[in-house]
Amino acid sequence: MEVIVAKTAGFCFGVKRAIEQVYNQIATADKPVYTYGPIIHNEQVVQDLEGKGVHVLESVEDLQKLSEGIVIIRSHGVGRAIYELLDRPGITVVDATCPFVKKIHRIVEEQQTMGRRVIIIGNPTHPEVEGIRGWGDERTLVVEHAGQIENLPVSEDEKLCIVAQTTFNYNKFQDLVEKFTEKGYDILVLNTICNATQERQVEARRIASEVDAMIVIGGRNSSNTQKLYEICQKECKNTYFIQTLGDFNPECVNSVRSVGITAGASTPNQIIEEVHTNVRVKF
């Protein structure tokens, strides 16, 4: 059996940077260490950090109750209001926001100041999108599906700035931008999808189109992994979404000649290697 592992699978730059910052704080901190939300969407990594004393703060209320500690902003980033809330005695902020997400924050703040209404293409409930929206104003909107464009509370004479969640599907982003263009809006389009995301999606699509079965590894709450799964499923009907080796069912690939493996940006290399080894050894 031929097994093809995507070269782009696993930790992206932003996730790797965030993880390293957490472990650095564990080694040097002189007070409790917290992350605002799970540092990345991977249960195994979060559990390992909890075992080393890192606590996850899940809500604004948790932040408000905190009187002392180091709070690490995860790679997804947060809105302006969270920074303001944490700016008080006893609290040290370590900002692990991905630089590519930070760039979107600056764009949104600048464009809304210049009078453009910002449209964010992405999942409205995803923490990255919630953070991006937190740098806009009351006019800032989030669009995920084409059907939403018809009913947007936007007047014909408004100027728009369109940005994207860094992990959004590139082809879907282009389709939605085209819909806005067809409506005749005055738009400034800034493709803020991370290059690593685009490369990962392109490679996953290519591999899935060439193999008999495709395995996509990542956390169940990982947006970019879910997008990889959707892309691969369109190219290969035998596509399987797993979190760890424990979710892998060998029977799903026991009668195929070739298997492809890719993984989301929050998937540790160790898990990818375990799945790869297991597929090769058994078949």
Of the candidates 39, 218, 192, the residue with the CA atom closest to the CA atom of residue 129 = 192
pLDDT of residue 67: 95
| Residue 128 among the catalytic residues | yes
For each of the chain's 283 residues, which pLDDT tens digit applies?
899 999 999 999 999 999 999 999 999 999 999 999 999 888 888 999 999 999 999 999 999 999 999 999 999 999 999 999 999 999 999 999 999 999 999 999 999 999 999 999 999 999 999 999 999 999 999 999 999 998 899 998 899 999 999 989 889 999 999 999 998 889 999 999 999 899 999 999 999 999 999 999 999 888 899 999 999 999 999 999 999 999 988 888 878 999 999 999 999 999 999 999 998 876 5
pLDDT of residue 252: 81
Residue 58 Cα distances to 19, 73, 165, angstroms: 18, 12, 21
Triad 91, 94, 97: Cα angle to 5°: 135
Amino acid at 254: N
pLDDT of residue 283: 56
Q: Which CATH class is domain 13-98?
A: alpha beta
Kindly name the residue from 43, 61, 110, 128 that is annotated as catalytic. Answer: 128
What does the block give as tokens for 80?
């302006």
pLDDT of residue 182: 92
What DSSP designation does 140 have? -
- The CATH classification number of 100-189 equals 3.40.1010.20
Side by side, the strands of the sheet bearing 213-217 are 2-5, 258-263, 213-217, 239-242
pLDDT of residue 240: 96
Q: Which CATH class is domain 2-10+195-282?
A: alpha beta
pLDDT of residue 43: 86
Amino acid at 163: V
pLDDT of residue 282: 61
pLDDT of residue 60: 96
Residues of the chain with CATH 3.40.1010.20: 2-10+195-282, 100-189
pTM over 0.85: yes
